[in-house]
Every structure is written in C-alpha cells, then in structure tokens.
C-alpha cells in the first residue's frame, strides 16, 4: 500500500476546467472518497491518479515516486468501474486470472492467488461459472477480485455500486469495506452518493465544479461543514440567513429579516466567518437536532407539511421568513396536523454559523 500526494493539480479540457488547483494527501491504507454532484471533477481526478489523463499542471506522487506522466500499466493500480468491464463468455477464474496471465506468472502461482482472492470475495464455489450466469452483485465482486489479485498498491473504485439495486448496494458496500480493511490497501472511491461515502470512508473530499469544498472525516464533514454547499449536500439541513447582532464572549446572536433571534456558540462557526456585527451569516440547523417543546432558541410556527416514516415524524414548519424542516425521532406520541402551531427548540450547541 502506498500514499498518494497531489500537488497543485489542474486539468483543463479546452475552455472547460475539470479540476482546479487540487492539493491532497491520501495516507497509505486509507479509504478515501471523492464525493460531489455530476460534473464536479471526481472521475477526472481519479483518471489522473490512474494515468488515463495527465494533469495540465501539478504533480502526483505515490509515496516518493513521481508518477505524474507514468503509463497506467506501470503504476500498479487496481481499478473497478461501474459497468464491471468483465469478459462475459469467460469463467470467474479466467476473469480473475487475467491480470496475472498478462504478467506471465507461473500457472501454479496464478491458481493459488486466484483461489485465495475468490475466497476473500466470498465466491469460493463459483470459480467455473460463466460471468453471464452471475447476479450483478456477484459480477461486481469478480471485478473487485480481478483488481485485487494483482496486489495493487492503490485500488481505484469508480461508482462500483451504481448498477446494483438498493439492497444489493448496501450488502456489496459492506463487503467492499470488509475486504478493504482485511487487505489494508489504499483505496480511492468515487461516488455521488453521500450515504455511501459517509458509511465507508476514513476521509471524504467534497467537490463542486472542479474545486475542493472540504476534506475531512465523515463526522467532521457532517457536524462541521465549512460552507453552505457542504452543509446542504451532505445530509439535510436548514440554512437560515441572518445578520450578526451581538457577540459576547463565546455567544453569537443573529437576527432574521422578520426579527427572530438565534443564539449559538462562536466556536461553532466556519473558518470563513469574520465575526463582525452587521455581517450576514447562514445558520445551519440539522432537522434531527430540532426538538419539540421549549428550551434554547424556542420558536413557534405553523405546520405546513407532516410525514410519518416509521423512524421519524417529519414536519415542515412555516416561520414566514423561512421554513424549517424538522425531524422528530418517533416518540409514539400524537402527530400534529397541517395548520396547527408547534413549539420547537434548538440547543445552542446545535446551531452552526457559516460565512459563505
């Protein structure tokens, strides 16, 4: 396993920038995810690491080795794509063995390695099955086995679960994570699915329009988003525009247009916030951090939407100058109806102040 260092990398396609000024250190053995909406630059970055694209500017290192302009087949990487790219008329074992045959390993060694990796992906009984006789989930595990059997320094996975249905996606996600931690191989995972990214990764890079918006652990990204894009893209959040009214020690108060005052803690602010009285802030509040009843930041509004999901009761509550999405974890109490007033509170600790 190797570390990956990306320094000041940009990739330009004519007038379009795929990726701009990217700096990134991925540690050896880390499960690292590129996350963002379609077109944000995830695949472009992955392709530069694989060697299918060369950067327009900047350098890429695997450990101390400069691989910026190295051919893909000389990087010792394993890759798995969304569409498997398996040979359908060949057996599972023939598919897994492919990379080893290209490397001209002795037959006995190939058999030993294929047997081991087939066991690791839980396909022990399937060695002589044809690919087109397997389910989508099994095919994806063959693709994973084929990438891993060459003992890559770095494993690259580009949306490997997107062709699977929801249940299989979850099962395969758990399998990939198990295999990755058993082998300890440095893994870079591309997805636009934030749940998948949160559940699998040691760290995540959130991208938008070719730029990095935040790099951090799933907890940091979820609990401490540094801008509105990340707050909104990862999970659900309420973003309320307000003006800073006062700052006393660690306590910030900010007022909305219609005069609702929110009070929270200064240490729950993004680095980009300048903390001047009169400045605009965006207050980020997760729906699940809002409680029914009185407490810190008590406010009463009118219910405009109710939904019972089993796990939770979800409300949208109207406060005239903003709407709040509220998620009350199922308390088995009486549901409120549309048009009724509801009193809510938000702990000071649960407000997060964003500057951009």
Nearer to ligand ATP, 4 or 354 (CB): 4
Q: Does 283 bind ligand ATP (CB under 6 A)?
A: no
Instruction: Report the nearest approach of ligand ATP to the CB of residue 156 (Å).
Output: 13
The crossing angle, in degrees rounded to 10, of helices 107-120 and 92-102 is 130
Nearer to ligand ATP, 5 or 20 (CB): 20
Q: Count the Cβ atoms, other than its own, within 10 Å of residue 285.
A: 22
Q: Identify the CA nearest to 236 among candidates 340, 331, 309, 157.
A: 309
Span near ligand ATP by CB under 6 A; candidates 12-20, 64-72, 138-146, 299-307: 12-20
Run of H or E including 317: strand 312-318
Instruction: Report the nearest approach of ligand ATP to the CB of residue 20 (Å).
Output: 10
Q: Does 203 bind ligand ATP (CB under 6 A)?
A: no
Q: Which residues contact 351 (CB under 8 A, 6 or more apart)?
A: 262, 263, 264, 265, 268, 283, 284, 285, 297
Q: Identify the CA nearest to 325 among candidates 270, 268, 284.
A: 284
Q: Does 225 bind ligand ATP (CB under 6 A)?
A: no
User: What is the footprint of ligand ATP within residues 41-60 (CB under 6 A)?
Assistant: 41-44
Nearer to ligand ATP, 39 or 216 (CB): 39
Nearer to ligand ATP, 46 or 67 (CB): 46
User: What is the footprint of ligand ATP within residues 163-202 (CB under 6 A)?
Assistant: 192
Residue labelled with tokens 């394993």: 78
Pattern 21-40, ligand ATP, x by CB under 6 A: ---------------x-xxx
End-to-end CA, the chain? 38
170-201 per-residue burial string, b: 16 or more CB within 10 A, e: under 16: eebbebbbebbeebebbbbbbbbbbebbbebb
Nearer to ligand ATP, 211 or 319 (CB): 211
Nearer to ligand ATP, 13 or 305 (CB): 13
Instruction: Report the nearest approach of ligand ATP to the CB of residue 230 (Å).
Output: 15
CB-based contact 281:353 (threshold 8 Å): yes
Q: What percent of the residues of the chain are helix, what percent strand, and what percent coil, each to the nearest 5?
A: 30, 35, 35
Q: Identify the CA nearest to 119 among candidates 156, 93, 150.
A: 93
Instruction: Report the nearest approach of ligand ATP to the CB of residue 26 (Å).
Output: 17
Q: Does 213 bind ligand ATP (CB under 6 A)?
A: no
Phi, psi (degrees; rounded to nearest 5) at 215: -125, 130
Q: Does 16 bind ligand ATP (CB under 6 A)?
A: yes
Instruction: Report the nearest approach of ligand ATP to the CB of residue 44 (Å).
Output: 3
Instruction: Report the nearest approach of ligand ATP to the CB of residue 95 (Å).
Output: 25
Instruction: Report the nearest approach of ligand ATP to the CB of residue 2 (Å).
Output: 23
Q: Which residues contact 299 (CB under 8 A, 6 or more apart)?
A: 260, 319, 343, 344, 345
Nearer to ligand ATP, 207 or 221 (CB): 207
Instruction: Report the nearest approach of ligand ATP to the CB of residue 40 (Å).
Output: 4
Instruction: Report the nearest approach of ligand ATP to the CB of residue 131 (Å).
Output: 24
Q: Does 329 bind ligand ATP (CB under 6 A)?
A: no
Contacting residues toward ligand ATP, per CB under 6 A: 13, 16, 18, 36, 38-44, 192
């Amino acid at each position: 396993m190797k570390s990956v260092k990306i320094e000041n990398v940009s990739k330009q396609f004519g007038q379009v920038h795929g990726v701009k000024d990217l700096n990134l250190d991925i540690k050896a053995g880390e499960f690292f995810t590129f996350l963002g909406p379609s077109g944000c630059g995830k695949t472009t970055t992955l392709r530069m690491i694989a060697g299918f694209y060369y950067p327009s500017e900047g350098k890429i290192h695997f450990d101390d080795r400069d691989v910026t302009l190295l051919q893909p087949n000389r990087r010792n990487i394993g890759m798995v794509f969304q569409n498997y790219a398996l040979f359908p008329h060949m057996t599972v074992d023939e598919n897994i063995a492919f990379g080893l045959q290209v490397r001209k390993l002795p037959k006995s060694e190939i058999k030993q390695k294929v047997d081991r990796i087939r066991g690791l992906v839980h396909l022990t009984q399937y060695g002589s099955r044809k690919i087109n006789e397997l389910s989508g989930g099994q095919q994806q595990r063959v693709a994973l086995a084929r990438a891993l059997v060459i003992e890559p320094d770095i494993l690259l996975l580009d949306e490997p679960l997107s062709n699977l249905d929801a249940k299989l996606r979850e099962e395969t996600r758990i399998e990939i994570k198990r295999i990755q931690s058993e082998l300890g191989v440095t893994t870079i995972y591309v997805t636009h699915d934030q749940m998948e990214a949160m559940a699998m990764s040691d760290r995540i890079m959130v991208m938008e329009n070719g730029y990095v918006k935040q790099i951090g652990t799933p907890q940091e990204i979820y609990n401490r988003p540094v801008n509105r894009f990340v707050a909104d893209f990862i999970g659900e959040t309420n973003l309320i525009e307000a003006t800073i009214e006062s700052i006393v020690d660690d306590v910030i108060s900010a007022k909305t247009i219609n005069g609702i005052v929110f009070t929270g803690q200064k240490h729950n602010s993004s680095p980009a916030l300048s903390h001047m009285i009169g400045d605009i802030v965006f207050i980020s509040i997760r729906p699940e951090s809002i409680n029914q009843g009185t407490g810190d930041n008590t406010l009463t509004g009118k219910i405009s939407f109710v939904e019972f999901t089993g796990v939770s009761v979800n409300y949208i509550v109207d406060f005239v100058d903003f709407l709040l999405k509220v998620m009350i974890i199922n308390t088995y109490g009486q549901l409120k109806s549309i048009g009724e007033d509801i009193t809510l509170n938000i702990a000071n600790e649960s407000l997060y102040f964003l500057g951009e």
